[in-house]
Chains A and B, each alone.
Chain A
């Protein structure tokens, strides 16, 4: 069974731009969560989607948003990029909200 895939793997943007990252969960998984990983703050939870509905949200500004499609694929969007948004963005999927999460390889975003 294929794992969680994320596209693109690398991205370079400039301040003020917006970016959209994509995540395809493991087949059959309906829950998708997003995390930001930085050297200073570690792994931080962004939000979780289940059946196209955002069920949980971490402590991030409204510039960070996401959505989930009927096929469980998810996207996250960051608007008005700041230098501090440079990070590895990880997506994790699970069968349901109460199941073990499996992570994708991440998208490394660099904001110049």
Chain B
């Protein structure tokens, strides 16, 4: 079955710097890759997603890149702010949104 790895497990950056989180997946049939942000006491919130027919997607300070050949995708957050501090999860699915396999998560801390 699908296996999703995520690195790093923890990441600390200074406010205003960029943060990059990387995920790799094992099933080449996977075609949908969402990123979720989870704050303490809340459920995961979708922040950006990308489908396999696109190599890059950007939404303001957040971008995701996908390399299907290498089977990895990355989350880029620019101009980080303290409110970006949270746990971020990547996921992969081969049914466009179902049967997600999640990565283990990255705890991002943005230091003021």
Binding site for B on A (CB under 8 A): 4, 31, 33, 35, 42-45, 48, 55-56, 58, 90, 92, 94, 97-106
Contact = CB atoms under 8 A, between A and B. Distances in A.
A98 to B, nearest CB: 4
A98 B98 contact: yes
Given A42-B104, A100-B34, A100-B49, A48 B44 contact: no
Given A100-B49, A105-B43, A43 B98 contact: no
A43 B89 contact: yes
A105 B103 CA distance: 19
Contact of B46 (A31, A101, A106): A101
Given A42-B102, A43-B89, A43-B102, A102 B97 contact: no
Interface of B: 34, 36, 41-46, 49, 89, 91, 95-105
Contacts of A43: 44, 89, 91, 100, 102, 105
Given A94-B97, A100-B34, A105 B102 contact: no
Highest count of chain A CB atoms <10 Å: which of B43, B46, B100, B101: B43
Contacts of B89: 42-43
B102 A100 contact: no
Given A90-B44, A98-B95, A100-B49, A42 B100 contact: no
26 contacts: A42-B104, A43-B89, A43-B91, A43-B100, A43-B102, A43-B105, A44-B102, A45-B101, A48-B99, A56-B99, A90-B43, A97-B96, A98-B95, A98-B97, A99-B96, A99-B97, A100-B46, A100-B49, A100-B97, A101-B97, A101-B100, A102-B46, A104-B43, A105-B43, A106-B42, A106-B43
